[in-house]
Amino acid sequence: MNLPNKLSTLRILLVPVIIALLFIGNFVGDLLALIVFVAAAITDKYDGHYARKYDMITALGKILDPLADKLLIYGVLIAFVQIGKITAWPVIIIIARGLAVTGLRVVAADQGSVIAASMWGKVKTTIQIITVIALIIDPHIINLPVQITIGLVWIAVLITVISGYKYFAGAEVDYS
């Protein structure tokens, strides 16, 4: 297994660690969850960078990287629902978009085309990471005004929906 795939695997393995730390529900748990989440998010940048730079792109990596991304964000968001930090609706919308775009990519791949990550997809991921960080730090590390955290959640949902629309609008696939 090459380095990029090891980084993606590490990101997957860190998800339950982050969730367990969030369930502690105090300053130390949230601080550790923040550190581990940021480290996991950083691996997302470097696995793709190394894979492209050193020509280490593999079939396994094409599956592991997006799977690790989704497990990281979805797992933490679901944990936030469980501990009462956010309601389920934004999480359902974010997960539904992710599944829809994954389905679109499968259909496109079956038809011999690839739907690469777009600028909107990268913005979506960045906003989701920022939102998760804000939710982790509030209230045990920094007590943020509720308008900031709720606003970030719904901005993440809006950008997520827009990016999903852009993928579907730009896809050259036969839906029949």
The pLDDT of 81-99, averaged and rounded, is 97
Question: How many angstroms separate the CA atoms of 150 and 85, rounded?
Answer: 10
Token code pair at residue 41: 């998010």
State the CB neighbour count (10 A cutoff) for residue 128. 26
Domains of the chain with CATH codes? 3-170 (1.20.120.1760)
For residue 64, what is the enclosing H or E element? helix 59-83
Give the tens place of pLDDT for each residue, 47-89. 888 888 999 888 888 889 989 999 999 999 999 999 999 999 9
The answer on pLDDT for 114 being more than 90 is no
What is the per-residue pLDDT for 156? 98
What is the per-residue pLDDT for 27? 96
The answer on pLDDT for 112 being more than 90 is no
Give the tens place of pLDDT for each residue, 144-167. 999 999 999 999 999 999 999 999
What is the per-residue pLDDT for 50? 87
Which of 162, 167, 160, 171 lies closest to 69, judged by CA? 160
Q: Categorize the per-residue pLDDT at 172 as very low, low, confident or very high, splitting at 50, 70 and 90.
A: confident
Mean residue pLDDT across the chain: 94
